[in-house]
Structure 1
Amino acid sequence: MIKTNNRRNHPREQESFQENTKSNTKSKRKKKQKSKLRENLEAIFLALVIALFIKTFVVDVYKIPTGSMIPTIEVGDFIVAAKFIYGAKIPFTDLRLPAIRDPKRGDIVIFLAPYYEPPNIIIQLLTPIVYTLTLGFVNIDPQPKFYVKRCIGLPGDTVEIIAKEVYINGKKLKGWWPEYHADPEIIPPGDSLMNHRDFFGPVTVPEDCYFMLG
């Protein structure tokens, strides 16, 4: 004879089973939420790393604060610079990546201001991060770090300015050089503070150097 067990589940056992089921469901939800949050944080971190890499070694965006390059570049314009063309500088070192080519006459070049003094290491680390996250609208390093000028003189060239006209190796610069003067008045050479504005040189550009104007 086979004896069957017709014993029904006790109400307490049913309640315990339901509580365990609810607990497991909540636990799975929390794990799923944590997993999703972690994925989002990892995606944000990866995007930030890629953005910083591109900004440091490939291309960067600069906002023009002054009118020295008018009418080619206006005040407030944003320009995109290809860093890899001349070889990007490796941060916190004096080393540079290999360049594709050297600057050519007529290139618009962005370069470090000669008088620029780097801030402390914390500001140096935070500046590109904040600048990238704010799409270039916030710069926590207030110093004018970069100049934006046009390359007119190559190594070995002789540069001279006569009555606002630029001469390279004795020949007047024509074509791509903009015929624009904010002040049409010509200041003759002399002892004034602006005696080099309209008359300058001649000077010979040293090796490994370039003459910028703008």
Structure 2
Amino acid sequence: MHFDLAKTLVGLTFATGLIWAIDHWFFAKRRAAEVPAGEAPREPVLVEYARSFFPVLLIVLLFRSFLAEPFRIPTGSMMPTLLVGDFILVNKFAYGIRLPVLDKKIIDIGEPERGDVVVFRYPKNPQEDYIKRVIGKPGDEVSYRNKRLYINGKEMPQDSHGPYAGTDQESRDLVRRNAESLQENLETVQHRIITIPGEQVGMDFTVTVPPGHYFVMGDNRDRSSDSRFWGFVPEQNLVGKAFVIWMAWRGFGDGVVEFGRLGTLIK
């Protein structure tokens, strides 16, 4: 069963706030009047918990809804930029302020730029969060031929950095398959990608991004389920822009924590 943290936070914040407010306005004064002079009235346990937790829940709700939200990377589709076990923070106001749960934009701040690493609700199952890189903006013509990317007819340059090297479990599998590390230039953003020579994932194609949608791809080009397979990301599905790695948990078999990645800005 899917656990919706946003709805849970809203519900708990509303419930604790309501309990505290009702007690304050209707019952607290009556209890104070019934207590002998000099003694402090005792709050019911439920009211005490509500008063204690409401401010904390409210702060967490506001921070998570309008400022930043933490996510954990579960797959290797964004390698080498993001590794399995990386914990990231996502800027929730980069593309506009949205109401929690309703996901209705109330303030328009900006829009994704080509090369942004974005978290979004998977179009085929909005209960799942995906993370990919923006390749095509509304109106762009995106082509992919022989593992080379073309945007509006212009090839995005790629420079080889030799065989891909890594020590975590996902990286070791790529090393065994002779994966190659390249630097791709998306005009405004330069970033690393991984390809596996001899493997053809998906068909070559040319598409035009419709209004209000984005074309996204993973940096691990031959190990990513992205717009090449399931289509475009609607603007209303955007959650925010990934901007920093705050924890890199590798598990006990791979050194537990990779301290060198902590605080790494995501580009």
After superposition, the C-alpha distances for 1:31-66 in whole angstroms (9 at most, x for unaligned) are 37759x967752432111111122122211111111
Amino acid at match of 1:207: P
**Cα separation, 2, equivalents of 1:117 and 1:212:** 16
After superposition, the C-alpha distances for 1:128-155 in whole angstroms (9 at most, x for unaligned) are xxxxxxxxxxxxxxxxx11101111111
Show the counterpart of 1:169.
Answer: 152
1:211 to 196, 204, 215: 215
2:116 to 81, 85, 107: 107
> Are residues 39 and 207 of structure 1, via their aligned partners in 2, closer, same or farther at CA, if it must alter by over 3 Å?
same
1:159 touches 1:167 (CA, 8 Å); kept in 2? yes
Show the counterpart of 2:181.
Answer: none
Q: Secondary structure in 2 aligned to 1:149?
A: strand
Show the counterpart of 1:67.
Answer: 76
Amino acid at match of 2:59: I
Q: Does 1:160 align with 2:143?
A: yes
The structure that has the greater radius of gyration is 1
1:195 to 195, 202, 211: 202
Show the counterpart of 1:90.
Answer: 99
Unaligned 5+ runs, structure 2: 1-35, 158-184, 219-267
Show the counterpart of 2:247.
Answer: none
Offset of residue 156 of structure 1: 1.0
1:58 touches 1:82 (CA, 8 Å); kept in 2? yes
Offset of residue 85 of structure 1: 1.4
2:141 touches 2:153 (CA, 8 Å); kept in 1? yes
2:144 touches 2:206 (CA, 8 Å); kept in 1? yes
Q: How does 1:12-51 map to 2 (within 5 A)?
A: 28=39, 31=40, 34=43, 41-51=50-60
> Are residues 147 and 117 of structure 1, via their aligned partners in 2, closer, same or farther at CA, if it must alter by over 3 Å?
closer
Show the counterpart of 1:78.
Answer: 87
Amino acid at match of 2:202: N
Q: Secondary structure in 2 aligned to 1:167?
A: strand
> Are residues 112 and 169 of structure 1, via their aligned partners in 2, closer, same or farther at CA, if it must alter by over 3 Å?
same
After superposition, the C-alpha distances for 1:109-129 in whole angstroms (9 at most, x for unaligned) are 1111112255xxxxxxxxxxx
**Cα separation, 2, equivalents of 1:178 and 1:50:** 35
Amino acid at match of 1:160: S
Q: Does 1:148 align with 2:152?
A: no
Aligned residues: 153
Identity fraction in percent: 38
After superposition, the C-alpha distances for 1:181-210 in whole angstroms (9 at most, x for unaligned) are 2522242xxxxxx432xx2x2111111111
Q: Secondary structure in 2 aligned to 1:53?
A: helix
**Cα separation, 1, equivalents of 2:192 and 2:65:** 35
Amino acid at match of 2:194: H
Unaligned 5+ runs, structure 1: 1-23, 119-144, 188-193
> Are residues 71 and 48 of structure 1, via their aligned partners in 2, closer, same or farther at CA, if it must alter by over 3 Å?
same
Q: Secondary structure in 2 aligned to 1:212?
A: strand
Amino acid at match of 1:153: G
Q: CA RMSD in A?
A: 2.8
Offset of residue 167 of structure 1: 0.9
**Cα separation, 2, equivalents of 1:91 and 1:179:** 34
TM-score (norm: length of structure 1): 0.62
TM-score (norm: length of structure 2): 0.50
Displaced runs of 4 or more, over 6 A: 37-40
